[in-house]
Structure 1
Amino acid sequence: MATPGVQITATNKSPLILIVTWLLLVLAAFAYIMRSIVKISRQAMHFGIDDYLLTGALVLCAAQSLATILRAADGFGKPFDTVSVEKVNKITEAGMAANVLYVVSLALSKLSLLLLLAKISPNKRHNQVMHGISLFVVLFTFISIFVVSFSCSVPKTWDYASGRCINRTVWWIVFDVYNIITEAALIFMPIYVIGLVQWPISRKVVVSTPFVLRICTIAACITDMVLWHNVSTTTDPYFAEWTVSVTTQVIQCSCLVCTCVLYLRNFLSSIETGFGLDGDLSASIPLKDRTTAGCNNLSSERLTGSMGMLGQIQVTTRYEVHTETDGLESGGEE
């Protein structure tokens, strides 16, 4: 016989929150572990800044999931009038912590991918766009942390159940719009760069697939917007908020997993001969695009760290031929 309080019922969604949170956390951790195994198997033991950012995103994801689990254990997912005042206070306090961790975890995931894209694109203008998006992510993240931390009146800035607060529905819809814009950029930019590469269509499709998968995150954000609107129209917003708690976990997990998917073995095998895993696509991009990318300079040998790989040497040789018709004297020798 099931234990009372553990069953998922119409008035008790706490077990559902626990199940979804645990499953998605395990999925995110599994994706990160597989990513690490692939890097180790390809002798890519060296960690770059993008790796540290993604590691930080996973750590914060785990902390955010833990805060959500503690909320559910205290009664989050039940009607407001069935939870004690003490429990409500703990739930809302943990909720603020979970929201801050959620905002920062998403930012680190996005910055990790943006840094990786900046490595593999030879075009300076592309890199400037990546840096511009990164700056936008950083600035919006600081704003989000401030808004989430002080969304209600002091001293209990976390007490959205009884305190005076900003319109939380509007804020989280704005945050979802920010997520959609940045995720769309993380899909469009790499696909645009891949489109310039002189590869067969089949390889372009394989390389583009991990980026296109971020549509799942966009879909989750759209769902989250709809659910936040529904929360604002219900008679018990406190109870109805369990739905957006679930979509929050989905967004956070999908953002991490889609970044880790870039290290799937088939994906790496497809780009090894083109990207070279060395952060330079110059050899595969048509000459007219390389010229606009600022790649028309004379270069010699250079040592590159191939997306975390140590000891890989790339030798690139370019020749410039100049013809001169003036300044030559007949019978003279320089």
Structure 2
Amino acid sequence: MFSSESTHYITTNTQATGVGISTWFLMSVSMIMYLSRQAVKFVMLRKVQLDDYLMSAAMLLSLGLSLGYSFASEHGFGNEFVASGDRDSIQKAYYAADVLYIPSLCLVKLALVVFFNNIAVDERQKRIILCLGGFSTLSMLATLFAASFQCGTQRAWEVMTLHCFNQSAFWIAHGVLDMITDMSLILVSFMLVWNLHIPLARKAVVVGCFAPRVLVIAAAACRVAYLAPTSAHNNPTFALWKSAVCAEVQICLSISTACMPCIKPFFAGIEAGVWQADQLRRQGLSLDDLYNKGYVKKNTEGDSSERSESLPKSKG
């Protein structure tokens, strides 16, 4: 049996500290991306929409999931040897994380579905998008119910014991459904720009905002790969730490990639303005010339200046 002091070190047989560190790091990344999305979107639109509420709910659930894994790691989740008094605490925290994992992923997808529906102009596209949202919701409700009672109703939180149903088969099925819906979201982004009369480069930019969701699919596949061989016979309090970290990575990537389409226009505007100012200066205009022509404005400190929010396009 390891002492409480030894659990602070990361070794081959003691990964609890690593699970805790990765949990808090990934949760922080998700929070930064979420807050950036909300701030940029509110500045641009000055209103809160349905997809904002869905993303907020997903973020709250992901925080609960992270707290569950963090609590489990404090009791030795990820260590090969765990005190008998800590096993129940680990199982309860892991069970709570399992239950929160499913709706948090689904809510992120529904936020993207609402986003797609808002920008779609064709009625056939809107029907396809709504069907995808309906399928995601129904599959979430079915798998959430199954996950909630995977070990019966009396002691449903005993997920690392022998009286549960075939958990490997269940999580493989859930993972396949999850990956299918994520791939469908990427295909929807193709569908939205396919018939638009815009340059191919512009289409590629739109699709590129959603293509990084392939990383979410990869994380889901890794989670399933680590979960499939795990059973109550092979010390699940130690064997499941890899799948838990994969779940955290998946949630983080799901939230981050869903935030990218809203954050990108802000940075694209900054990049465009900087590029235009650079082009004007290449034409021989000094900083004072740009100021006199109204392209930039001086700040209160005198010598330094900042770019105007709306620079005219270069003719060169």
Same fold (TM over 0.5): yes
Instruction: Give 1:137's aligned residue.
Output: 136
Q: 1:234 offset after TM fit, Å?
A: 7.6
Instruction: Give 2:21's aligned residue.
Output: 19
Residues 1-334 of structure 1: pairs in structure 2 closer than 5 A: 4-42=6-44, 44-79=45-80, 82-232=81-231, 235-266=234-265
Opposite residue 14 of structure 2, the aligned amino acid is N
In structure 2, list runs of 5 or more residues that go unmatched. Answer: 270-316
Opposite residue 180 of structure 2, the aligned amino acid is I
Whether the 8 Å contact between 2:58 and 2:107 is mirrored in structure 1 is yes
Opposite residue 101 of structure 1, the aligned amino acid is L
Deviates more, 1:60-69 or 1:135-144: 135-144
Q: 1:163 offset after TM fit, Å?
A: 4.5
Q: 1:14 offset after TM fit, Å?
A: 0.6
Q: 1:197 offset after TM fit, Å?
A: 1.2
- Output one character per residue of 1:67-97: Cα deviation in whole Å (capped at 9) or x when no partner: 1100110111112xx2233311111111111
Opposite residue 62 of structure 1, the aligned amino acid is L
Q: 1:233 offset after TM fit, Å?
A: 10
- C-alpha RMSD over aligned residues: 1.8
Judging changes above 3 Å, is the alpha-carbon distance between structure 1 residues 4 and 86 closer, same or farther for their aligned structure 2 residues? closer
- Output one character per residue of 1:240-268: Cα deviation in whole Å (capped at 9) or x when no partner: 11010011001111111111011123478
The 1-side partners of 2:233 and 2:92 are apart by 22
The 2-side partners of 1:234 and 1:165 are apart by 12
Opposite residue 131 of structure 2, the aligned amino acid is G
The 2-side partners of 1:49 and 1:40 are apart by 13
Higher relative contact order (CA 8 A, sep 6+): 1
- Count the aligned residue pairs: 265
The 1-side partners of 2:138 and 2:234 are apart by 35
The 2-side partners of 1:116 and 1:153 are apart by 38
Whether the 8 Å contact between 2:95 and 2:159 is mirrored in structure 1 is no
- Output one character per residue of 1:177-197: Cα deviation in whole Å (capped at 9) or x when no partner: 011100000000111211211
Of all paired residues, the percent bearing the same amino acid is 28
Whether the 8 Å contact between 1:38 and 1:265 is mirrored in structure 2 is no
The 2-side partners of 1:209 and 1:222 are apart by 21
